[in-house]
Structure 1
Amino acid sequence: MDFGSYETLIVEFADGVATVTINRPEALNALSREVIDELAKVCDLFSGLGDARREDGDGANRGGAGADDDGAWPVRGVILTGAAGKAFVAGADIREMTSMSPDEAVAYARSMHAVTLALEALPVPVIACVDGYALGGGCELALAADFIYASESAQFGQPEVNLGLVPGFGGSVRLPQRIGLGMARELIYTARRLTAHEASSLGLVNGVFPTREQLLAAAAATIREIATKSPTAVAFAKRSINEAVGRTTAEGLDVEANAFRAAFETEDMKEGTEAFVAKRSPVFPGR
């Protein structure tokens, strides 16, 4: 499958897993405006190829414009990583930022906000594979993934106050959601870095692996495991979780009930329940 060519990204696809590698090792994979623009284009492409969100009024999935002829989704999960070296993503591109006006800086932040929201909106799981530094914008990019795997060499942090800045790519919003308000405040105010194991102990990281190779293999294995489940159910579950964040319990339950109803209208639900009763393995059509 051809995902196009990019100046700052490498996009590969195998066995339903799309791997997006930010490829600026000479700049520690920093998030330049070009990187952000290309990430946005890739997110648009993935959204079209795995469009679980084309709804016909009642919320039920009918396949998507980019789906296979049988309605299946070719992209079953996304791995987001950086080129091998010292960093996953060292942060925003500080060299570019030094010449920005306040208005240009806001536009820069908003462009990255759009990328992180697009990653959250994808109907398939996104796993950030962090090897090396995930600082500032790098940590914020990882936070937009469904979950994070890390190598032993990974380091996480929001060091913006060292530069007279504040998090601009979502750290002040998503970091408290992951590790709690008090701990997020401490990390942002102090600019302290976390090792992979410290991040794991706080719930920021789901798994720590000895090497980069084992890290990427584990993420691919997790996506392949998820790919055996109902694609529509995974997509509805992801959307339900994301939409319930920040709501009251009652409001969150309404979100969940709507997703539960939508799942009942899919062919995957019919296949899954019939397979369970018949004591056979389901073959989900993905619609």
Structure 2
Amino acid sequence: MNYENILAEKENGLAVITINRPTKLNALNKTTIQELHEAFKALDADKEVKAIIITGSGEKAFVAGADISEFADFDVAQGGELAAKGQELLFDFVENLSTPVIAAVNGFALGGGLELAMAAHFRVASDNAKMGLPEVSLGVIPGYGGTQRLPQLVGKGRAMEMIMTAGMIGAEDAKAYGLVNHVVPQAELVDFCKGIASKIMKNSPVAISAAIKAINANFTDGVNGYKAEIKAFGEAFGTADFKEGTTAFLEKRKAEFPGK
């Protein structure tokens, strides 16, 4: 499928989505959010795709934020609708995707950009990355999940400071905070993420999907994460992947998971 603002490629079971608005520092507008939704949905439905990397084009930015010109004149109802629609189409959608999503954070990840990175299942940053939620400097707050996911990742106190100061942190601080898992030179970023993806892709896609759901259950209001884990663990025993994985282990050979 051809897109206006993103590139989507896949090879050997690995997909790479690149947000491609370099003149706008890859800022998220309505079209880009819709295209990302469509790309993630299509790749998640593709049984050949075992992992997805999301990154930004160029060397300056992953996503420098939302496209402010689109909503500067919105009223209360329109603002609420903007946040609700964006979360449904992209941020919550990515977080709950059954295919693992790795954010390769190159350069600036601000506002909606950091929120997108946080919606991914984990993050790797280039050594020149800068991250922050500057929304309060515009008289608004993060609306794409930032006030929820940032405290989950870095703790309440650090999240409060980052959001209230509207400041940016560098890649090494982000790693120390637990916001990103690894920091690598920018030229090596995507290849490093591909290396992690290759390790993920050796494992059962059915089990990985179940693990994502079980982990996310712990952060969902009204859901007992332990019970969700027990249910998913039990259901795994009825899968072809479980039979193949245990049989391969006992036969001392590499598993060839059917993904069922």
- State the TM-score, normalizing by the size of structure 1: 0.87
Which position in structure 2 is the counterpart of 1:165? 140
Kept in 2: contact 1:28–1:90 (CA 8 A):
yes
Deviation at 1:247, TM superposition (A): 6.0
**1:149/1:205 contact within 8 Å kept:** yes
Determine if contact 1:46/1:122 at 8 Å carries over to the other structure. no
* Structure with higher RCO (Cα < 8 A, 6+ apart): 1
Within 2, Cα distance between the matches of 1:48 and 1:161?
Answer: 37
- Which letter maps to 1:47? D
Tell whether the 8 Å contact from 2:44 to 2:99 is kept in structure 1 after alignment. Answer: no
Deviations 1:213-262 (A, max 9, x none): 311001111111111011111111111101122569x9221010011011
Q: Does 1:97 align with 2:94?
A: no
Task: Report the counterpart of residue 234 of structure 1 in structure 2.
Answer: 208
Q: Which residue of 2 aligns with 1:120?
A: 95
Aligned match of 1:185: 160
Q: Which residue of 1 aligns with 2:58?
A: 84
Does the 8 Å CA contact 2:26/2:56 hold for their aligned counterparts? yes
Deviation at 1:106, TM superposition (A): 2.0
Correspondence 1:234-273 to 2 at 5 A: 234-246=208-220, 251-273=224-246
Are 1:43 and 2:18 matched, yes or no? Answer: no
TM-score by length of 2: 0.96
Query: What amino acid does structure 2 have at the position aligned with 1:207?
Result: H
The aligned counterpart of 2:80 is 106
How many residues are aligned here?
259
Counterpart of 1:210 in structure 2 is: 185
Which residue in the other structure is 1:23 paired with?
20
CA RMSD after TM alignment: 1.4
Deviations 1:22-71 (A, max 9, x none): 1111111111111111112112212322xxxxxxxxxxxxxxxxxxxxxx
The amino acid of 1:40's aligned partner reads: H
Overall identity of the aligned pairs, in %: 42
Paired residues of 2:175 and 2:183 also in contact (CA < 8 A): yes
Query: Which residue type is aligned with residue 69 of structure 2?
Result: R
Moved runs in structure 1, 4+ residues, more than 6 A? Answer: none
1:31–1:92 CA contact under 8 A, matched in 2: yes
- Give the aligned residue type for 2:43: F
> What secondary structure does 2:4 align onto?
coil
1:279 equivalent to 2:252? Answer yes
Structure 1 runs not aligned, ≥5 long: 50-72
* CA deviation string 1:127-184 (max 9, x = no partner): 1111111011100000000000000110000111111110011100100110111111
SS in structure 2 of the partner of residue 200 of structure 1: helix
